[in-house]
Structures are given as C-alpha cells and as structure tokens.
Amino acid sequence: MPDAAFPTTAMAAMPAILIAEDETAIAETVLYALRSEGFTADHVLLGGEVVPRVRAGGVDLVVLDVGLPDITGFEVCRALRAFSEVPVIFLTARDGEIDRVVGLELGADDYVVKPFSPRELVARVRARLRRRTQAEAASWQSHGAFEIDRDGKRIRYRGRALDLTRYEYGVLEVLMLRPGAVLSRTQLMDRVWADALESSDRTVDTHIKTLRAKLRALDERGDGHEDGRDDPIRTHRGLGYSLEVGNG
C-alpha cells in the first residue's frame, strides 16, 4: 500500500494518526485498519522523523513503536513532551519493554503489546481521542451567548469562534467574567493593559470599537441578515462599559 501524505484542509476534520514503526508489515496492517475506520493515517520508519512531523502540525495522535532503529520510542516521547501534548500510544515488545513503559512515566497515554489485533489498536486510538475531546469540551465555560476557554485564550460568540487580538481578548474576558457590571476605562486599562507602557482612554475605546465590529460581523454572517439584535457591549456615558451576555 503506498503511503499517502496527510491531506490538507479539506479533510482536516478526520483525526490524523502518525505511526512510527520500522516493521513495514505491522505498519501497513495498522495503516489499513485506521484508514478503513475513517482515520487519516501516515507512517514513518524512524524515531527521528516524529518530532518534525508533529511540530509541522496536523497530527492528532502518535502510535509509537518502542524499538526503532535510530532512537527509542522512549526518547521520541520525551522529546515530544517538551513541546506537545499530542496523545501517544506505545507499541511494545513483550520482553521487558512493558515494564519500562508502565514504570517510566514518560507521558505516554496507553500501550499495546505485540502481537496485537489491529482492531484493538483502533479501539485504543478511538478511546484516547474521545478522552481528549471531552477534556477540550471541559475547558469551555458558558456565559450566555458567549463561551470562553481561559487556558486557550479563546472566545466563541453564538457558537462561533471570534478571531481576537490579545487586547481585544483581554477586554472581552474582563467584561464577560462580570456580566452586566459597569467597568470604567481605567479599570479595563489596569486589568488588560497592565504590562503595556502606554495606554489611554482612546486605546480602550478603539478596542471596544473593533470588538463590536467583530461581534456584529458574526451575527450578520450567521443569520444572513441583520436581525436588529442589541450590541452586547453597552456604553454607559461617563462611566464605562458593560457586557450583556444574553441567552446562549
């Protein structure tokens, strides 16, 4: 079976699995099993190829043979963990490798002992990806029509992702955490521009303006027409701004 490169954006929704395994017969069995279950799967023969591939992006999970010809799967996993949380499932031989996988706390998520059934491996891959999806969902908090992931510094409005600059994110986060509360420009500057050398009332107003435009753009795109929804950011003359989060 020829190795296909990961497809680009068109199939981005399919989880992409990278397999590092020097035994071609095993790799091809795994590739076939994953692809027939709808996964995107690609294969490398050497441990040294894994880190560059993960760094390049688009890898959702790594299936990693422990006994690779250049560097061990353990070393690969350690190198991955220095910069990535990508789930790793080890393929181990029976002779002593299992103890090392279990004992070393390398940050691997699971392991499968050779010989294994491809179906079992696919089930483990699926289970691991599901856990990650749940963890991802857990990091989002809802505030009416807004959702915020404070770890990932991301905000969604009416279910759609807002593409925000750092300061726009900061302003919206501060307002969202106290819905309805009126915050003065000085309060917003203190919280959002704490590390900036220079900021002014105008700085706050400028960012409120661009935020409003982005919120409005999402409303218009989503509904196909302007439906006269109120601007969720309210101006309180002489006092400051507040956010009406509305109903989710």
Site of interaction with Ca ion (CB under 5 A)? 22, 65, 67
CB closer to Ca ion, 92 vs 203: 92
| Smallest separation, CB 114 to Ca ion (Å) | 9
CB closer to Ca ion, 89 vs 189: 89
DSSP sequence for the chain:
-PPPPPP-GGGTTS-EEEEE-S-HHHHHHHHHHHHHTT-EEEEESSGGGHHHHHHTS---EEEEESS-SSS-HHHHHHHHHTT----EEEEE-SSSHHHHHHHS--S--EEEESS--HHHHHHHHHHHHHHHHHHHHHT-EEETTEEEETTTTEEEETTEE----HHHHHHHHHHHHSTT--B-HHHHHHHHSTT-S---HHHHHHHHHHHHHHHHHHHHHHHSS---PPPSEEEETTTEEEE-----
CB closer to Ca ion, 24 vs 186: 24
- Direct distance between the N- and C-terminal alpha carbons of the chain, in angstroms, rounded to an integer: 48
Q: Which residue is nearest to Ca ion (CB)?
A: 67
Pairing of strands 110-113, 141-143: unpaired
CB closer to Ca ion, 48 vs 67: 67
| Smallest separation, CB 97 to Ca ion (Å) | 10
CB closer to Ca ion, 42 vs 65: 65
| Smallest separation, CB 119 to Ca ion (Å) | 21
CB closer to Ca ion, 71 vs 218: 71
